[in-house]
Structure 1
């Protein structure tokens, strides 16, 4: 029996070309997914732990204790004295309570160990203490940022994030409606299906909804990474210290205020030098002729508009400054437009620098809002959205593995990647996509080029390896 095709030779050729490109995109999606899925799973799980630990207990543990509000609070210096009596050492930070029923927090250093002490702001009595950055949030944060293996972990995650964006692009191409299907076919999962088709339909629909948010999360996360973020994006978008009018600068940058892998200063300020105390620079801050005390600095913060929660870093050496800060990244507020960092000379009480959201560059503003969104700090809607997204990423990672396992023949001793018989005429389009990836995300691009070279020079010439990886 002869089968007659309804397609003209030109249409048949076009369909074959399209099919080869589709299989090529699927192959990229497959290999990228093999590497990316475990990282996405880790990022989603640790992200959920951080999100809900901060929601229930507070990022710094400020929600652990509840106090009874009174008409007046004691002076912050009296609260600090109570904290020092509980944990003798060097006091380095004060965190004002967000709500009237919350405790004040003080960070105290004892040699190389840092403690947080909770104090009732109305009675100046200690409520408890704990080792700082030693809780579940901080463990999850360290895994989330570096896999607990330092720079190597940071680089591995950065590679995964770059490939993750490729995963989104190829996924959208693969699932985009074709062959007469409507957009509804990808937006509404086919729950009546069974087996692999059901997994495929759920993976496709959830992936489409999650893709836009996932790209935002990957890019905002990449801006913290060691190469794409620190060496490229952040370096080009750092707030210029020259904007401060003739202020002496320290050898330290704002990044020195971070604690380990936990970020505590706005992204755009991290690489900006700190101002230095010990000059007549700046504008009037605390009342002239009066001691520059802790209470005076806190009063200045309130006069400058720092209501509810803010953080006050104490001067750490002879040239250091008092730093009053509030930003969404540190969970101080739910409004990135209220970000503000003020540096005060420890001797004169004069304001040396005052940086707010409006002073940031475009990238800095995007990060102030993007990181706050990334961390679920913008309100209940943001908390729910991030939770749903993390659960969606967990499902996408698991379902991708399940689909591969179900497609793979029983007892197959190879990966069973989609097979492209020969490069199609659209190979240049694929090469362009890889070139763009290499330029935008150099670490991921370098790995991609290395893998291609290995394939060309080694893998395809060693038959056992070639078979195992296909």
Structure 2
């Protein structure tokens, strides 16, 4: 339920208090929808852009080139040399191919610029390159997360997500069958209806099914929000670095491995300090007595069970580590249970930390699965479901506007919002329920309180403005 509803209070006949409560919920749904609907359309459209860009071309562009499988694979060190010949610079990341037909990818930094180089893993020949973070996926991701206006955009979207929860709650209440009607009247749309009634029936039914997933999408999306995600839930759900015995810690956190608005590190690890090389930890990694080379680290990754696609981050300075990782959030696999991050000392080749899905806390596990589901990374069924959900959100947003436009009197110079009339105890109950829900999300709660105070102290005392907003 993501937009202005057109459910008419005639449906809520019965006791006066019950009717007031119904209209109060409708009024909350109406005003919340005015703010949320544009954001929901934006999130759905950009979400579809990211979903199909990742599906057709790969999140990192790994599907851009197709190679012909050969009997043997060239050493990754030879592949990296081909990447540097293509783009001279410093290699900072290797992404192993998911299938025998895909190319290896290397991220090469050239000053402030960063490029992705595709290399044939069999012939160790560069196939092409492109500027990183300049594709359609990255553009859609930046809009999806910040509206291209940085922190302000993040905050505005977080507010909309909080009010989106209110839309879901009020929408489900408005959806509930009344006046002796059974669930069949709302579980299936009345396609025989005409005009506004048809729009209303479709909005009801599609909104009910969409609301079952809306809260999941909003909560999983909020995990990356600046206040609710990073300052609240993530802060107390971070994997404790103290579990890494006798391992020195870096001043950097795992968030330093992200690039721009695109997240590459599991949610529960993002604020955890990185380990530092130079430890005396005795967990065997690469072959003892042998140089800790790129090929040795890749061999270790395969030995540890990192098959098909995985990512390898190179040490960035004298205290940094090799990091082998695989997670659904980065499109590495389709199963969150396979999430795993391994840090290896760049000097000794010893394993400093090995974190898998089973090591996450309850919130970390929920978010690992929720974010993978949100991004459509869990298989074809997930891809189809996310597509249907996004299209439903767009329809609900548009249909809400259409119903409002059809309901308002021609030439009306006001919003024509649902009118509660005399406030009763159930109105107060509804207000408290909505206020409590909003306060679970600080920014939305702050905006709600500000609006209530503005209405109490200003709007209701300025007759022309009050009329326009009524």
> In which range does the TM-score fall when normalised by the shorter chain?
over 0.9
After the TM superposition, list the runs of 4 or more consecutive aligned residues in structure 1 that deviate by more than 2 angstroms: none
Q: Does the CA-based 8 Å contact 1:283-1:351 persist in structure 2?
A: yes
| Equivalent residues of 2:13, 2:179 under 8 A apart | no
Aligned partner of 2:6 in structure 1 is: none
The 8 Å contact of residues 46 and 144 in structure 1, kept in 2 or not, is answered as yes
Give the Cα–Cα distance (whole angstroms) in 2 for the partners of residues 272 and 145 of structure 1: 22
Q: Which residue of the partner structure matches residue 71 of structure 2?
A: 71
Paired positions, count: 459
Distance, in Å, in 2 between the alignment partners of 1:323 and 1:87 is 23
Q: Deviations over 1:376-430 (max 9, x none)?
A: 0000000000000000000000000100011111111111101111212212312
Structure 2 CA distance, aligned partners of 1:439 and 1:341?
35
Counterpart contact for 2:253–2:272, Cα < 8 Å? yes
Q: Is the 8 A contact 1:247 1:282 kept in 2?
A: no
Which residue of structure 1 lines up, in the alignment, with residue 100 of structure 2?
100
CA–CA distance in structure 2, aligned partners of residues 175 and 354 of structure 1 = 48
Give the secondary-structure state (helix, strand or coil) at the position aligned to 2:15.
helix
Separation of aligned partners in 1, 2:32 and 2:438: 14
Whole-Å separation in 2 of the counterparts to 1:428 and 1:469: 21
Deviations 1:42-71 (A, max 9, x none): 000000000011000000000010000011
How far residue 14 of structure 1 moved from its aligned partner, in angstroms, is 6.2
Taking a change above 3 Å as real, the CA distance of residues 428 and 90 of structure 1, as seen in their structure-2 partners, is: same
Alignment check: 8 A CA contact 2:25 2:170 kept: yes
Residue in structure 2 matched with residue 80 of structure 1 by the alignment: 80
* Aligned alpha-carbon RMSD (Å): 1.1
The 5-angstrom pairing of residues 282-293 of structure 1 reads 282-293=282-293
SS at the partner of 1:324? strand
Cα deviation, 1:209-247, whole Å, max 9, x if unaligned, reads 110111100010011111110000000100000011121
Question: Which residue matches 2:333?
Answer: 333
Q: How does 1:232-311 map to 2 (within 5 A)?
A: 232-311=232-311
Deviation of 1:434 (Å): 2.9
The Cα offsets for residues 406-459 of structure 1, whole Å up to 9 and x where unpaired, read as: 111111111110111121221231232133224311110110011000000000
The equivalent of 1:155 in structure 2 is: 155
Tell me if structure 2 keeps the 8 A contact 1:437–1:444: no
2: CA distance, partners of 1:14 / 1:144: 44
Q: Distance in 1 between matches of 2:51 and 2:429?
A: 40
For 1:438 and 1:197, how far apart are their aligned partners in 2?
31
Matched with 2:35 is 35
* Aligned twin of 1:465: 465
- Equivalent positions of 1:65-464 (< 5 A) are 65-464=65-464
Give distance in 1, aligned partners of 2:139 and 2:167: 28
Q: How many Å separate the matches in 1 of 2:113 and 2:445?
A: 40
Q: Could you tell me how far apart the structure 2 residues matched to 1:393 and 1:94 are? A: 37
The Cα of 1:266 is off from its aligned counterpart by 0.2
Q: Comparing both chains, which one has the higher relative contact order based on Cα–Cα distances under 8 Å and sequence gaps of 6 or more? A: 2
Gaps of at least 5 residues in structure 2 are: 1-11
Contact 2:328–2:335 (Cα < 8 Å) also in 1: yes
Measured in 2, the distance between the counterparts of 1:38 and 1:13 equals 32
Once structures 1 and 2 are overlaid, which stretch shifts more, 338-347 or 277-286?
Answer: 277-286
Aligned partners of 1:23 and 1:427: how far apart in 2? Answer: 9
Asked if 2 retains the 8 angstrom alpha-carbon contact of 1:107 and 1:115, the reply is yes
User: Is the contact made by 1:324 and 1:342 (CA closer than 8 Å) also made in structure 2?
Assistant: yes
The residue number in structure 1 matching 2:9 is none
CA contact (8 A) 1:282 1:353 kept: no
CA distance in 1, matches of 2:114, 2:400: 43
User: TM-score, normalised on structure 1?
Assistant: 0.97
Alignment of 1:20 onto 2:5: no
Q: CA shift at 1:281, angstroms? A: 2.3
Aligned equivalents of 1:274 and 1:112: distance in 2? Answer: 23
What is the SS of the residue equivalent to 1:437? helix
Cα distance in 1 for partners of 2:400, 2:355 equals 45
- Output one character per residue of 1:96-124: Cα deviation in whole Å (capped at 9) or x when no partner: 00000100000000111100000000000
Look up the match of 1:8.
Answer: none
- Counterpart of 1:9? none
> What SS does the aligned partner of 1:426 have?
helix
Say whether the 8 Å CA contact 2:246–2:280 is kept in structure 1. Answer: no
- What SS does the aligned partner of 1:434 have? helix
In structure 2, the partner of 1:6 is: none
The 3-state SS of whatever aligns with 2:220 is: helix
